[in-house]
Amino acid sequence: MPRNRKRFCRRYLAILIMAVVWLTSGGAPEVSANDEETYKGLKIFSDVIDLIEKNYVDPVDSKDLIQKAIQGMVNSLDPHSQLLPPEAFEELQIDTRGEFGGIGIVITMQKGLLTVISPIEGTPAQKAGIKAGDIIIKVDGESTKEMMLWEAVKKMRGPKGESVVITIFREGETDPMDFTLVRDIIPIESVRYMTLQPGYGYIRITNFQENTTEDLNAALKALEHGKTPLNGLVLDLRDNPGGLLNQAVDVSDVFLDEGNIVSIKGRMKRHTKSFDARPDRVKHLYPIVVLINGGSASASEIVAGALQDHRRAVILGTTSFGKGSVQTVESLRDGYGLKFTIARYYTPSGRSIQAQGIVPDIEVRLRHIDEDATSDERVLKEKDLRNHLDAVPFPDEDASSPADRGKEDSDAEGRDQPADSRYGPLDRDSLQSDNQVMRAVEILKGYQILTDVRS
């Protein structure tokens, strides 16, 4: 496109935006002070773009500048709001489905480094020997130094059968290591389970996606129809970063027959909702211990908070992450999306856990048997994030009537996760050396003994 035409289009766009601001005020000749400030701000923005485009030492891409400006504006609101380019928007949608083409690793940005949390069992990455803690420094020869997390994910995902080369740095090795991986279909498995001991089941939920509640019910059915009647359940939500709000509500509803599960309160009336439990056809009457830690965030905090307030479960572990906000994703033109915060959520008793977290009923720090307890302080939490929202007391006015299960996203992005992962396969020996898991089993056994004594 010729430069003059590009400038004309950009200036026309700025004028159009200003006109929209004017029209949204009713088109009245008397403009409010707020609208006047908005108009001035847009004019300054247009002037800056014009000056940079004319005078900057190197040629610039106006579209790229505008996109970065919007991203900066949105990022200044809170850590979980962001503009999603088409590729990132697509990846976000994939993350809530059942499978995708890729190499099978869970990654995060840890201290600015693209770090492997864990390889997923049975995937190309796991078979090739990728390990938790590996730092990915290149993808197909391109440095990950300035790469955003979604960009790295996009580069490593792709059609089944195509290869990708990742270069990693591993502690203890002197030179970087290249791995050529052939992509495969990667199932996203959010629920895993096993019988820990006769009569005592264990279920791990790693995140909340579209089929989580369905998979949970299948796991419960398998555990409850074992050789020994189920006397207690350990529900592990440690290092669960969240996911879909409706799945958090439905998972809570599996164990509750009545009462409020969570309320969300936003500035707009349509963002104020209350979600209540419904009577269940299948009753799960055995006691439950829920495990949480500093990596338990958002949707997992909704579940823990609901079961704690209704005294349906004992919460054990360490204080959770503290993300008490709800995000929604709106589609924009040209494949873009806008993820932004619309509400704070409150537990049934009216607690806002934003930047505070769920405090366990019984605090037990993680350690392996015969080892010293490890500190949870190393985990970055919501209160440590730049521009985090403050907790706000539950409003006095009543929330709206129970609403249909929404699909707002309550994922906890933008935080560093510990390299210790819950995404790997279940291993009975490992679980039995986990002091938090075994403490939970002891509590369940104690409850059973007391129940037998009373009867």
Active-site residue set: 298, 309, 323
**Structure tokens belonging to residue 318:** 């360490």
CB atoms within 10 A of CB 28: 10
DSSP state of 147: -
Q: Could you give phi then psi for residue 83, rounded to 5 degrees?
A: -80, 135
CB atoms within 10 A of CB 284: 17
**Structure tokens belonging to residue 296:** 């338990």
CA distance 193 to 202: 5
- On whether the CB atoms of residues 251 and 244 are closer than 8 A, the answer is no
The DSSP string of 33-95 is HHHHHHHHHHHHHHHHHHHHHHH-SS---HHHHHHHHHHHHHHTT-TT-EEE-HHHHHHHHHT
Q: Could you give phi then psi for residue 218, rounded to 5 degrees?
A: -65, -40
Residues 6+ apart with CB under 8 A from 339: 80, 81, 82, 83, 84, 92, 327, 328, 329, 409
Distance of CA 110 to CAs 149, 199, 273, 412, Å?
10, 40, 35, 15
Please name which of 239, 412, 241, 247 lies closest in space to residue 339, comparing C-alpha atoms. 412
Please name which of 306, 354, 434 lies closest in space to residue 78, comparing C-alpha atoms. 354
- On whether the CB atoms of residues 269 and 342 are closer than 8 A, the answer is no
- On whether the CB atoms of residues 344 and 354 are closer than 8 A, the answer is yes
Strand partners, 194: 202
